[in-house]
Structure 1
Amino acid sequence: QANFTPFALEQLEGRVYELAPHQQIMCDVLDRVISGEIKRLIINVPPGYAKTAIAVWAFVARGFAINPSSKFLHISYSDTLVNDNSSNIRDIINSSDYQSLFPYMSFHPDTQAKGLWKTNRGGAFRAASSGGAITGFRAGLIGSSIFSGAMIVDDPLKPDDAYSETVRGFINGRWKNVFRSRLASPDVPVIVIMQRLHIDDFTSHLLNNSGEEWHHLVLPAYIAGNKPYQHEGRAIPIPYDLPSGSLWPQKYDDATALDLMSDGQYSQRPIKDGGEFFGEAQLLVEGRPAVLENRVDQVYAVIDTALKDGLEHDGTAVTYFAHNKIAGIPLVVLDYDVLQISGDLLDTWLPTVEHRLEQLARDTNSRQGSIGIWIEDKASGTVLIQQAQRKGMNVYAIDGALTALGKDGRALSVSGYVNRGMVKISAGVYDKVCVYRGVSRNHFLTQICGFRVGAKTPHGMDLLDSFVYGVAIGLGDSFGY
């Protein structure tokens, strides 16, 4: 694919095309689709990084060169886009250079429509919008011993519709209700290439709800060290080796690319609508997790317990902090956990938090060790505090004045510390993915960066409370904020 793509794009643009490193990576992964190694592939990459040119135009043109009997189904959010892509593929195939190399690949004379055309070897290309009817056509061939086509979904959701729960849910539902049935057999490959637009977008839906494993390639606009991206659900991560800095230096310099990372379309870490209050960039050090190079002064944990038991209610969250009073980063989040646990089991669960805290104290060479656990003094938390204190555990109730502020008030009270760069997260937090409410993702970043002042706060924002309480306890005044 890396050799064919520049050739294909030169037919369209009339100039020599040189692949950027990230484009080479995409091509290498697409080779694994052609070979049959990968059956389900998701590529997340920012807009304007040549994803469509590589994974649609060049890939389809190459597929027909390999097997003119191939059948491709191409889906995107609008008829205009898929028809334009169809025209570009035809132009590549019709070019004199392509025909000189692959003279056996030609179009059936009776098919000229952009939305559906056929080859003289029984192959076909169908273009359709993600919300439209897709009947009478299936991608790939049954029982083929060589590559025979694919379903290629390129940005199934219009960016303007990303925050419409109705539209987003409709498109997500199309996988089960429509798209999957348009494969000639389950062995026909599916390629989804898209920018991330929402935490519950098509990528998230496939990884968490399709019931299948997906090879997952994630290319953010800025590469923060040679660290693998965090994946969710049933992802099979595709590693790569790119230098730190801008993903495409010829397009954006490092500073610009880093600035773009506040946008989920470029970071590939989508956030909820309404403008982020705590930004991921604020919690990182030049785009990377904080590194604790020296001893810390103390470590502690903060717990926010569920109001009620049951899956439909809040969970119990714990966040672990390292605090430095004089030198170093004032406050670093070391770890987190979030789970749904019945109130009568909290008493037996709490010692595991104490054990983890002691372990973190050793790992960070904490001068004062663990200074204890703070728990919100309400509902099941009140009982938990009393039980723990009777056992002699270092457990404290969070000040009532702080809990009385409400989510918005608490977030506002500590926002200055975050905005001034006094609060950072460790690699342990940045890289952590866990299952909560049946969804596998980095729930810490999703909740903290997904919080919006003034917006109705949904259930499942338990880590936000433990984080905000922890910042107030570590950096606030004598009242905790």
Structure 2
Amino acid sequence: MSLTAQQAAQHLLRLKAAEEGFLGWVRLVQPKWVLPSFHKHLIKALDLLEKNELTSHYGKSAAERQKIEKVPVRNLLITMPPRHGKSTYGSVLFPAYFMAKKPNRFLMSTSYNSQLATDFGRQVRDLCQEPVVSQTFPDFEMSPDSRAVDQWRTTSGGAAYFIGVGGTTSGRAANMLIFDDPFKSREEAESATQRNKVWNYYVSALSTRLQPDNDGTPPSQIHIQTRWHPDDLAGRLMQTDDWSEGRWLHINFKAIEDLEIPGEKVSRAQLPKDDPKYLEGTKLQKLSHGKRYITKTVKTALWDERFSLEDLERRQRLNPREFASLYQQTPYIEGGNLIRSHWWRTYPSDMKPERFVSLIIACDTAFKAKEDNDYSVMLVMGLDTSGDIYVVENHRGRYEFPELKRRMITLNNLWRGKGLRGIYIEDKASGQSLIQELKRESGVSVIPYKVSNDKVSRLNAVLPLIEGGRVFLPSTANWLDNFYDECQTFPSGTYDDQVDALSIGLDVLARTPATGEYYKPPAFTLDFNDKSFWSNPKEFGKGKKPTWKGWGE
């Protein structure tokens, strides 16, 4: 069918847009799609990744960018609900675009089994054979003698491989690694053996295939999944040094979000009584005026045109645990979930109180740096005049004793001029030597924290503070993912060091008056050496000494 001059011009513009960016490519091959905003956010991240322009500042506000070091990002983790388009973009449209734009590159795409991997391979291969591909990228051509669904090559020397977990990777290079759906079911994700198998395969067989492009562009990787388990592949990636250093970008979408309505406030006394932010009138009067009201929120479906809020809430009622994992990306273990994710309150990182009435560092320590040892955790926590508690910073790592001591002193020096009252360290075998060492340092106020109950009992003692909405976390921080996961799975999760430190900090600050002043006994204004004091009949009766009651010990 012949095109008019206007139609031909429009087609050329679409080809030009596809050549210049991934969004143009998506609109070229799927012209009828109406793209929701969260799809555009994902498309933009993939486009920047391909151009080697993605940084840790992507998607952050101006205030958040000031708090986060800007570093190049070559690793992308995408966690989204089922049937919301993550694999369509990450495992079909983007691989085709990646190979067509520079056909001398190598791509490796992996899934939980060879069947799913080859299904993706077939879709990518068929898309690459569409006429618009060669029109957009004239240099791209598939090799006529290598067009299998699980492996095909280009005439420019590039290749694409589609393999299942356990498949061979020897002799195969990858400038781009894509790992989509590492687990096929809840049963697999619940198996520690299977989780270890997937992780070991990723570390030993997949990540070792990565190499730079011919032009020197660093290799990149994309991990795509819905969350099944706190210790799944995404959970383990969040424990790596690259993650804590900001070298991963996490694009995380929940099926249901509580969105704030700008400018609309509601009194906390008017909230439903089961809402963690609810406060009755008498308690409300103790707060400052600004804290008596919160911004009104409304539940919103991520993709309401396809999955309505009513439908999602019905699925949530059918199986809350499955919904939390697959749709909200907050997996937890049966027997855990003592701390519910919706109990936490957040504050913008640039709006925390300038000066707390009390500021402490709560620590849970371990002295070995091996990968299978516990972490050392140092939480900087503050108490404001309303009695609310803020987690300001979270320092977590595996350190040998000298390094741990050095970090403690550095942290003390950083906060000492900002109202730091003391460093509380659990008084156990691993903490006692550290306590003694730090006490020798000038300017360090270290306080042993003695424990008598088990970890669960200690958390239960302070849990009402979290449930009642009195504990605030920053809205953005590079340590939040690990912190949320550990709290969500406690006490059945892999680690509990952050929860231990949190329990210490909450217990200490809960016992501190919101004025910041410590208890002082009443001062006597009378002279006890005056004999007339003891013999004053109007006060105590002749010849009798007073009996003090109710003054404490």
Alignment TM-score, normalising by the size of structure 2: 0.58
Match of residue 282 from structure 1: 343
- For residues 383 and 128 of structure 2, the distance between their equivalents in structure 1, rounded to whole angstroms, comes to 62
Give 2:221's match in structure 1, choosing from 183, 191, 202.
191
Deviation of 1:299 (Å): 2.9
Q: Which amino acid aligns with 1:195?
A: Q
SS in 1 for 2:168: coil
Q: 1:253 to 1:467 in 2, by over 3 A?
A: farther
- For residues 420 and 461 of structure 1, the distance between their equivalents in structure 2, rounded to whole angstroms, comes to 22
Match of residue 431 from structure 1: 477
The Cα RMSD (Å) is: 5.1
Report Cα offsets for 1:430-462 as digits up to 9, x if no partner.
5154xxxxxxx866445434422xx3x75x633
SS in 2 for 1:49: coil
Alignment map for 1:379-398 (pairs within 5 Å): 379=429, 381=431, 384=435, 388=439, 396-398=447-449
Match of residue 218 from structure 1: 250
Alignment map for 1:256-405 (pairs within 5 Å): 263=324, 275-285=336-346, 291-292=351-352, 296-306=356-366, 309-311=367-369, 314=374, 316-324=376-384, 327=386, 330-338=388-396, 355-361=413-419, 371-379=421-429, 381=431, 384=435, 388=439, 396-398=447-449, 403-405=451-453
Q: Which amino acid aligns with 1:466?
A: A
* Contact 2:121–2:149 (Cα < 8 Å) also in 1: yes
SS in 2 for 1:18: coil
Match of residue 365 from structure 1: none
Deviation of 1:33 (Å): 5.2
* Contact 1:290–1:332 (Cα < 8 Å) also in 2: no
Q: Comparing 375-384 with 246-255, which one deviates more in the overlay? A: 246-255
SS in 2 for 1:468: helix
Q: 1:411 to 1:253 in 2, by over 3 A?
A: farther
- For residues 344 and 135 of structure 1, the distance between their equivalents in structure 2, rounded to whole angstroms, comes to 42
Match of residue 472 from structure 1: 507
Match of residue 458 from structure 2: 410
SS in 2 for 1:276: coil
Q: Does 1:24 align with 2:24?
A: no
Larger radius of gyration: 2
Q: Which amino acid aligns with 1:128?
A: I
* Contact 2:189–2:195 (Cα < 8 Å) also in 1: yes
Q: Which amino acid aligns with 1:379?
A: A
Q: Does 1:76 align with 2:111?
A: yes
Match of residue 451 from structure 1: 490
Q: Which amino acid aligns with 1:45?
A: T
Q: 1:415 to 1:124 in 2, by over 3 A?
A: same
* Contact 2:361–2:378 (Cα < 8 Å) also in 1: yes
Match of residue 498 from structure 2: 463
SS in 2 for 1:3: helix
Deviation of 1:468 (Å): 0.8
Q: 1:345 to 1:156 in 2, by over 3 A?
A: closer
Match of residue 52 from structure 1: 87
Q: 1:44 to 1:288 in 2, by over 3 A?
A: farther
SS in 1 for 2:30: helix
- For residues 390 and 162 of structure 1, the distance between their equivalents in structure 2, rounded to whole angstroms, comes to 48
Match of residue 178 from structure 2: 152
Match of residue 232 from structure 1: none
- For residues 477 and 40 of structure 1, the distance between their equivalents in structure 2, rounded to whole angstroms, comes to 45
* Contact 1:301–1:357 (Cα < 8 Å) also in 2: no
- For residues 150 and 104 of structure 2, the distance between their equivalents in structure 1, rounded to whole angstroms, comes to 18
- For residues 289 and 281 of structure 1, the distance between their equivalents in structure 2, rounded to whole angstroms, comes to 19
How many matched pairs? 416
Q: Comparing 150-159 with 377-386, which one deviates more in the overlay? A: 377-386
Deviation of 1:353 (Å): 5.7
Deviation of 1:406 (Å): 0.6
Give 1:171's match in structure 2, choosing from 198, 214, 237.
198
Structure 2 portions without partners, runs of 5+: 1-21, 55-72, 260-298, 514-553
* Contact 2:109–2:177 (Cα < 8 Å) also in 1: yes
SS in 2 for 1:162: helix
Report Cα offsets for 1:154-193 as digits up to 9, x if no partner.
2334453334333233323334533356568665844323
* Contact 1:318–1:338 (Cα < 8 Å) also in 2: yes
Deviation of 1:114 (Å): 3.2
* Contact 1:69–1:123 (Cα < 8 Å) also in 2: yes
Deviation of 1:129 (Å): 0.7
Deviation of 1:24 (Å): 3.0
* Contact 2:424–2:446 (Cα < 8 Å) also in 1: yes
Q: Does 1:128 align with 2:163?
A: yes
* Contact 1:46–1:266 (Cα < 8 Å) also in 2: yes
* Contact 2:189–2:232 (Cα < 8 Å) also in 1: no
Q: Comparing 345-354 with 122-131, which one deviates more in the overlay? A: 345-354
Deviation of 1:17 (Å): 0.8
Q: Does 1:4 align with 2:22?
A: no
- For residues 42 and 30 of structure 1, the distance between their equivalents in structure 2, rounded to whole angstroms, comes to 8
Deviation of 1:271 (Å): 6.3
* Contact 2:101–2:140 (Cα < 8 Å) also in 1: no
- For residues 199 and 80 of structure 1, the distance between their equivalents in structure 2, rounded to whole angstroms, comes to 25
Q: Which amino acid aligns with 1:192?
A: I
Q: Comparing 117-126 with 42-51, which one deviates more in the overlay? A: 117-126
Match of residue 18 from structure 2: none
* Contact 2:143–2:154 (Cα < 8 Å) also in 1: yes
* Contact 1:284–1:290 (Cα < 8 Å) also in 2: no
* Contact 1:377–1:385 (Cα < 8 Å) also in 2: no
Match of residue 467 from structure 2: 419
Q: 1:423 to 1:389 in 2, by over 3 A?
A: farther
Match of residue 550 from structure 2: none
Q: 1:465 to 1:250 in 2, by over 3 A?
A: same
- For residues 69 and 316 of structure 1, the distance between their equivalents in structure 2, rounded to whole angstroms, comes to 46
* Contact 1:305–1:315 (Cα < 8 Å) also in 2: yes
Q: 1:110 to 1:358 in 2, by over 3 A?
A: closer
SS in 2 for 1:412: helix
SS in 2 for 1:322: strand
Match of residue 231 from structure 1: none
Report Cα offsets for 1:393-429 as digits up to 9, x if no partner.
765554x5xx2211111122222221121222245xx
Q: 1:101 to 1:473 in 2, by over 3 A?
A: closer
Tell me which of the two structures has the higher relative contact order, counting C-alpha pairs closer than 8 angstroms and 6 or more residues apart.
1
* Contact 1:385–1:397 (Cα < 8 Å) also in 2: no
- For residues 24 and 394 of structure 2, the distance between their equivalents in structure 1, rounded to whole angstroms, comes to 45
- For residues 31 and 44 of structure 1, the distance between their equivalents in structure 2, rounded to whole angstroms, comes to 14
Report Cα offsets for 1:8-60 as digits up to 9, x if no partner.
235xxxxx113333433433444445556689442423143322222332233
Q: Which amino acid aligns with 1:448?
A: C
Deviation of 1:2 (Å): 0.6
Q: 1:52 to 1:472 in 2, by over 3 A?
A: same
- For residues 347 and 42 of structure 1, the distance between their equivalents in structure 2, rounded to whole angstroms, comes to 34
